[in-house]
Structure 1
Amino acid sequence: MHNQQLKQILAVFKQDTWVRPFMKKYGKLLYLVLFLGFMTLFCGSALMFTSGFLISKSASQPENIMLVYVPIVLTRGFGIGRPAFRYVERLTSHNWVLKMTSDLRVRLYRSLEKEAVFFKEKYKTGDILAVLAEDIDHLQNLYLRTIFPTIISWLIYIVVIIGLGLFSVPFAFMMLLMMTVVVVLMPLVSLLVNGVKMERQKTARNHLYDQLTDAVLGVGDWLFSGRREDIVSSYEDSERAVRKDEYQIKRFDRMRDFLLQVFFALLAVVVLIWTSFVFKGNQGGAANWIAAFVLAIFPLVDAFAPIPAATSELTIYKDSVKRLNALPEAELEDTKPTSAAVALSKETFEELKVNQVVFSYEPDTKKVLNQLSLTVPKGEKLAILGKSGAGKSTLGRMIRGDLLPQSGSITLNEVPVQQLGEDISQWVGVINQSPHLFNTSVLNNVRLGNPSATDEEVIKTLYQVGLGKMIEQLPDGFHTVVEEAGGRFSGGEQQRIALARILLQNTPVVLLDEPTVGLDPVTEQTLLDTLFDALEGKTIIWITHHLQGVDQMDHVVFIEDGQVAIKGTPHKLLENNPRYQKLYKLDRGENQDAERGR
């Protein structure tokens, strides 16, 4: 089991494509960090060595001050060098890590943005919270607490063994074996014993994120079912399990650290015995060297003590690296619009064209869209209908450039929408099923569509959508806070505020993605009338699942099996197309009424 765990850790880090690229990108700075870390520990040990020699030599009352002049200079040099190197090493290592984690965060956010429209389908909210809240920090600690200290300690280890070998090869070999206990055996034991507990604890913490999001998102259902105490009790049980693992981890850490201190005390005794034999014939100078070698051991505690604790955390880092590598690839370079896209102006919009588009969410699966073609000229109002899963919303995401077709193209004035980059927001405005309203004033929420708009322009759009008079009469007027997620206003009013944003944004194309879902029929029809009146002259693409208000559209398209099954004006389809006539009757419940009449 332990061998399998080690193989899994090695495999994850070997296949890593997130962290390793930055090792090369900031390679020079990394080497500088390692050098400074080595020099910090070397100066610390050398300071104790020269200090021990100097104190012992001075106590023997040397005949000439020149006999201790060199140790004095070295002591001062190493004394100044140790904190200086330490300070610069801390600055450099944190600079390196912050550069790397900054790039990692950018890559992470772009990766999540790439999959933003599929969060509900592909990821649990708790997992995303774990990635954002912990994984990047874990990778930061991977370098600061594990990689850097371990590499520096191994460098010190090699230098110590080589240095001792200059005096005595057998003793150097014996120290090689003894120090292997600290640099190899104890880290391995920590990894196998504590690493399992840490991995279990991290998994439990991630489960806590899942429980927390479930509790928050489903709080209403818990309260209505009268089981509030159950969710609180369940969460507390999970927390107790995490704390139990944490206690066991800390208990093992305390025992290991105690054994580590005992081991270094034993090491100092061994060095004391060895030096007493090696330098016994050196008369008065023997004590000088004995003191120097023994005191030089103690700074090594700073070099080797962190290794076991750091190594045991590899299982945590393994999980973070694995989770990040499971995310979709995302480039660090900014995507810039092409010169053709930059040259476009939304005032010159002529048509939106969907040409032979093919799309599927997974390879070798059913095509959601299959050779779909549409042309929407300037000023046209098009309704796109279809049953659930027909590809309506997928097409809407592709028009926005959030998804790319496997083949075919979607263009605005013959420019592919993906080439517009973030400038797509100047061309296509979206009102979806649940527009998000922020916990700030009505003015600020609407101004999101155009941050440079004046208060007068914002208020004008609110009157256009039929909210001006109502909001003006509120105690705080247009400065009324909408509350979190727009709780201050009804569903229909929230949609009107979203419409005001779009009017302020002033895009030539407006995509309506089922904005009336969840509204009662009267409110729905009133909102549709407001939408179409306010958006007069705009190119409207309305994604909907039923036919209320479709008679106000110029054309209707029904998508089935990824292709256009029905196409035409609503009036001609109602007159001549039997299938559309049947859908029209079903939508209004006429068939059900006829059945009840029988």
Structure 2
Amino acid sequence: MKKQPARPAAIRPRIVRLFAPHRARLAVIALLVLVSAAVATVPPLLIRLILDDALPHGRTGLLTLLALVMIALTAASTALGVFQAHQSMIVGQRIMSGLRTEVYAHLQRMSLGFFTRTHTGEVQSRISNDIGGMDTVVTTAVTTVLGSGATVLAALTAMTLLDWRLALVSLALLPLFVWVNNRVGRERREIVRERYEKVAALTTLIEESLSVSGFLLGRLLGRSRAVTEEFARQSTALGEISVRTTMAGRWRQAGLQVVVAAMPVLIYWAAGLRGSPVTVGTLVAFAALQQSLLGPAVQLTQVGAVVQSSLSLFERVFEYLDLPVDVPEPSSPTPLTAARGHVRFERVHFGYGDEPVLRDISLDVRPGTRLAVVGPTGAGKTSLGYLLLRLHDVTAGRITIDGVDVRDLDFETLARTVGAVSQDSHLLHATVAENLRLGKPGATDEELVEAARMAHIHDLVASLPDGYATVVGERGYRFSGGEKQRLAIARTILRDPPVLLLDEATSALDTRTERAVQEALAQLSQNRTTITIAHRLSTVRDADQIIVLNGGRIAERGSHAELAESGGEYSSMLAGTAPVRAEEWR
């Protein structure tokens, strides 16, 4: 079910709060705006003096003085405008940067489940496109509203002083501007939300089809033409809605422009109907002030429409900020120094929604010992590892390291304590050295080489033309699966965690490559608490303790010898008679 957009009344206070940390700079901007508005009303009054006094009476000295003052005021107003724009841009960009960072930081606190449910392109679009679309609102809207409002008030004051009756004629049009602003804003708001939803969909398609994996999938399945046609369809739809966004209310605003252009004529006509004489200087000054009134009024309507339409973008961003954090970091984390690596699962239950995955799991993994977890697909093996890493939180029970609940550890401490190597080792599009230093940012070149030697990958890296400066390519596609695994192992060796989680780290490798990776893993596992989640039983024979998961419960536990002779599920797996593929277990 599609979520209903938030009401504008609930969104606006949150937008205003974004500006709160910048009060001092906004005060400076407001002062500049007021001074600039006051300066802008003076030239029309000087024109009146020129036309009604200096020119008719040949007062060249006064004419020269007034002309110089007008030039000076114009120069001052221009300089104030540049400085004001600079300050406004600083405020706006800082707000956008802060909002981007806040959304990014909030998403970093989400559980793995959020990212398995959400397209990466959608997330990227919210952070880049949606917040980028707010640029006009947060950088110029405030100063435009302040500047135009101050100019309107100053112009009204000056017009009233010149001729209050003609001022009333000019004021009669202001309700029309307000009405047009509200109508255009409402139209654009819904269109803009639809537009950015289509932008997100197009971003997702690009991310999925032009990544290395997406490109290979499309090429191998012969889907390149179909994907291109889908891209063209979505791109065309986005172009059409962009036209609708631009043209929404354009005819109404065009009508206002005609009215603004006709206003001087209306003033001359109204002055003629009065019957009482009005000087030429007063009429010209009044017409100039009227433009100072109606021009900013048009700007206010246009900015109002932009703000109204941008509410949809703020709604989309606030939706992400309002997502509940289901794996919260503790406000007062418990320190864990010199961790020994004693891991305990105490009556742990876990499920996705109402679907139970693990039931009543109790384990005691002593420091420096090795636990192996085996079982059929869907038994909950990977979920067990995710709970230890706090990618999810337990539904009931608790998991402790050296007696401390993992929920009481901050994420950095937990990551420093538990190192993980999975079958899908992620490498960044960076150099080998940069990927390795993710495990230890301050690692020296000598430490990189030593870790690579222990992972049996140094000789390969050293043989490359650029050595450790070699760029691995997106997701490490320059390297084979086994080579990526060994790079990931070297990265974990640099971190030197007391607890090691191996999640089916060799299940996707051929026998020869598996043997090389196993040697690296054996080196990594020395003197560490090791939990191995495995498909192939050949990788767990030397474990101190083996558990068999089935249906989310521990069906058996013991050593390899004990379980092999028990006649239970484990021995069936060894014999190849379990209801899974025999080659998975041998």
The alignment's TM-score, normalised by the length of structure 2, stands at 0.83
Aligned pair 1:111/2:106, yes or no?
Answer: yes
Does the 8 Å CA contact 1:50/1:75 hold for their aligned counterparts? no
Q: Name the amino acid aligned to 1:375.
A: D
Contact 2:33 2:146 in 1 (8 A): no
Corresponding letter in the other structure for 2:210: V
Alpha-carbon distance, 1:569 to partner: 2.4
Residue in 1 that maps onto 2:297: 304
1:436-480 Cα distance to aligned partner (Å, 9 max, x none): 223444333323322333323322222222223344444444444
1:462 corresponds to: 452
Supply the RMSD in Å over aligned alpha carbons.
Answer: 3.9
Amino acid at match of 1:92: Q
Equivalences for residues 154-233 of structure 1 within 5 A: 154=149, 156-157=151-152, 160=155, 171-182=166-177, 184-191=178-185, 197-217=191-211, 218-233=214-229
Which of 119, 134, 139 is residue 124 of structure 1 equivalent to?
Answer: 119
**Matches of residues 401-416 of structure 1 in structure 2 within 5 Å?**
401-405=390-394, 408-416=397-405
Tell me the equivalent position of 1:498: 488
Q: For residues 136 and 263 of structure 1, do their structure 2 counterparts lie closer, same or farther at Cα, with a shift above 3 Å needed?
A: same
Amino acid at match of 1:98: Q
For 1:49, the equivalent position in structure 2 comes to 44
Which of 346, 369, 374 is 1:355 aligned to?
346
- CA offset at residue 406 of structure 1? 5.1
Deviations 1:61-111 (A, max 9, x none): 377978997x77975775455234423432332232233222212211112
Which secondary structure does the structure 2 equivalent of 1:429 belong to? Answer: strand
| Bigger Cα displacement from structure 2, 219-228 vs 243-252 | 243-252
Map residues 35-74 of structure 1 onto 2, 5 A cutoff: 36-44=32-40, 46-56=41-51, 57-61=53-57
Measured in 2, the distance between the counterparts of 1:538 and 1:391 equals 24
**Structure-2 residue corresponding to 1:138:** 133
Q: CA deviation at 1:510?
A: 1.4
Q: Aligned letter for 1:557?
A: I
Between the aligned partners of 2:349 and 2:551, the Cα distance in structure 1 is: 12
Within 5 A, what are the aligned runs for 1:567-586?
A: 567-576=557-566, 578-586=568-576
1:345 maps onto 2:337 in alignment? yes
Moved more, 305-314 or 50-59: 305-314
| CA shift for structure 1 position 499 | 0.6
Residues 276 and 290, structure 1, Cα contact 8 Å, conserved in 2: no
CA contact 1:385–1:556 (8 Å) conserved in 2: yes
Counterpart-to-counterpart distance in 2, 1:416 and 1:197: 49
Where does residue 423 of structure 2 map in the other structure?
433
Identity of aligned residues (%): 22
* Counterpart residue number, 2:436: 446
Write the deviation string for residues 467-519 of structure 1: whole angstroms up to 9, x where unpaired: 23344444444444433322222101110111111112211111212222322
Equivalent residue for 1:566?
A: 556
Deviation track 1:181-215 (CA, whole Å, cap 9, x = no partner) reads: 22x23323433555555444333323322322332
Residue identity opposite 1:431 in structure 2: V
CA shift, 1:11, in A, is 0.6
Aligned residue pair count: 574
Equivalences for 1:271-290 in 2 at 5 Å?
A: 271-274=267-270, 280-281=276-277, 286-290=279-283
Matched AA of 1:223 = R
List alignment gaps of at least 5 residues for structure 1: 1-7, 594-598
Cα deviation for residue 264 of structure 1 reads 1.3
Preserved CA contact (<8 Å) 1:547 1:587: no
Q: Is the 8 A contact 2:189 2:312 kept in 1?
A: no
